[in-house]
Structure 1
C-alpha cells in the first residue's frame, strides 16, 4: 500500500512540476494586466517551441501518465472504504487532467502553434491565436489545480490510515494489558487454591492428634 501511494505522489508531483514550467508563458497572459501583444507573442513562441519538440518527450509523458493512472486504479480495486473515497476522488481529478490535455491542450498545440506567422514583439497579435493562447493558459491552470487536489487527497488518505493504525495499536495494547491482568488473576487464584489444598491435610492431622 505504501509503495502504491508513493508512486502516485511521485507521478503527480512530476506532472505538476512539468505544468509549472509553463509559468514562463502563462504568467504573462493570466496574471499580468493588461495583456499586451508582446506578452502574447512571448507566450506563443514558448508554446511553438513545445509543439516542435521531440516526439519522444510526449511518449515519455504518456508512460508516466499511464503509470499513475494504473497505480490509482489498482489501489482503488482493493474495495476498502478509505480507498473508495480518497482514490475515487484522485482518479476523478487525475482523469480530468488527462482528458483536458488529450482533447484540448494537445490538439490546440498541434493546430495553432506548430508554425507562427513572422512577427515582431510589437506586431499586432492575431485574434484567433490570442484565444488559443489564453485557452492554453487556462487549461494549464485547471490541470495544476486538479493535480494539486490529487496530492491533497493522497495526503488525507495517509493521515486517515495513520490515525486508524494508531487506534488499532492502542486497542491491541489495551487487549494485551487486559490479557496480562486476567492471567495474573488466574495465577493468584491458582496459588491460593494450591495453598488451601496444602493446608487442609495439616489441619486434619492436627485434629486427629488432639483427638
Structure 2
C-alpha cells in the first residue's frame, strides 16, 4: 500500500471511529423498539453536548476531512485504470459523507440541540425534536456505511496493484529465462558452415 492510500485509510478509519462514538445515542433511537421518551431525551442530551463542544474540535475535524479529500483527489490525478475505478468510487462515497454532514447533520445538531428545555427523563419528548433525533441516527448510519465502503475500495485498490506487480515480475522472469535459453541454443546454420570449412581444410 502506497503512502497516499495509507493516509486515506488512516483518515477514513479515524472518521469512522468518530462516528461510532455516536452509537451512545443512535443505538437508543435506531435499534431499540419501542423508542421511549427516555431514549429520546438521552440521545438529545448527547447531541446537546456535541453542539456546545469547543469550536477547536470542529476545526480539527474539518482539517482531517480536508486532508483526506485532497489525498484521494491527488491519487485520482494519476488516471491509471485502477485509480479511476477505486479512487473514483472513494471520492464519491467520501464526498457523499461530507455533503450529508454539512447540509444535514451539522445544521440539525447546532439548530435543534444547542439549548434543550429543562426536563426529566420521564417527561414527554417534544414532537418537534423527535423527527430530527431519529433522522440524525439514520444519517450517521449512512455515513458509517459510506466510509466503510471507502475502506473496502482502498483495500481493493491495494490488492489490484499487488496483483499487477506480481504479474509484471513473472513476465520479466519468463523473458529472462527465454533469453538465456536462446543464448545457449546454437544456430544450426553456424554449425554447418564451421563443419564445411573444417572439411575443406
1:117 alignment partner, SS class: coil
Deviation at 1:74, TM superposition (A): 0.5
Q: Please, what TM-score do these two structures have when normalized by structure 1?
A: 0.90
Paired residue for 2:90?
Answer: 90
Report the Cα offset of residue 167 of structure 1: 1.0
Matched with 1:70 is: 70
Q: CA deviation digits over 1:166-197, x for unaligned, max 9? A: 111111110011011111124x8799579748
Partner residue, 2:2: 2
Q: CA 1:103–1:189 in 2, change beyond 3 Å: closer, same or farther?
A: same
**Between Structure 1 and Structure 2, whose CA radius of gyration is higher?**
1
Cα distance in 2 for residues equivalent to 1:189 and 1:52: 88
Aligned counterpart, 2:181: 181
1:19 alignment counterpart: 19
CA deviations on 1:106-138 (whole Å, 9 max, x unpaired) are: 110110111000000000000111111111111
The answer on 1:116 being equivalent to 2:104 is no
In structure 1, distance between residues paired with 2:189 and 2:95: 66
* 1:163 and 2:163 correspond: yes
SS of the residue aligned with 2:185?
helix
Return 5+ residue gaps in structure 2 as ranges: none
In 2, the alpha carbon distance for the partners of 1:51 and 1:18 equals 15
| Residue of structure 1 in register with 2:40 after alignment | 40
Distance 2:159 2:85 in 1: 13
2:198 matched residue in structure 1: 200
d(CA) in 1 for partners of 2:23, 2:90: 24
Q: Deviations over 1:24-80 (max 9, x none)?
A: 000000001000000000000000000000001100000100000000000001111
C-alpha distance in 2, partners of 1:35/1:14? 30
Residues in 1 aligned to 2:21 and 2:30: alpha-carbon distance in whole angstroms = 14
Runs of 4+ aligned structure 1 residues displaced above 6 Å come to: 188-191
Cα distance in structure 1, aligned partners of 2:132 and 2:43 = 11
- Count of equivalent residues: 201
